[in-house]
Structure 1
Amino acid sequence: MDGGNGFDSLSLQAQFLNSNDSQISNIEEVLLAVAGLVVNLALQTEPLLVRGFLSGNQSITSGSGNDSLTGGTGSDMLDGGAGADSIVGAAGADSLLGGGGDDT
Structure 2
Amino acid sequence: MTRKTLIALAAAAICMGAPVPASAQAEPPPGLDRLHAYCQARGHLNSVATDPKSVWSWRCVGHRGELHRIDMHDACKWHTNGRYSKAAYHDANNAFSWYCY
Report 1 or 2 for greater relative contact order, CA contacts < 8 Å, sequence distance ≥ 6: 2
Q: Under a length normalisation based on structure 1, what TM-score does the superposition of the two structures give?
A: 0.21
Report the structure, 1 or 2, having the larger strand content.
1
Structure with greater proportional helix content: 2
Larger Rg: 2
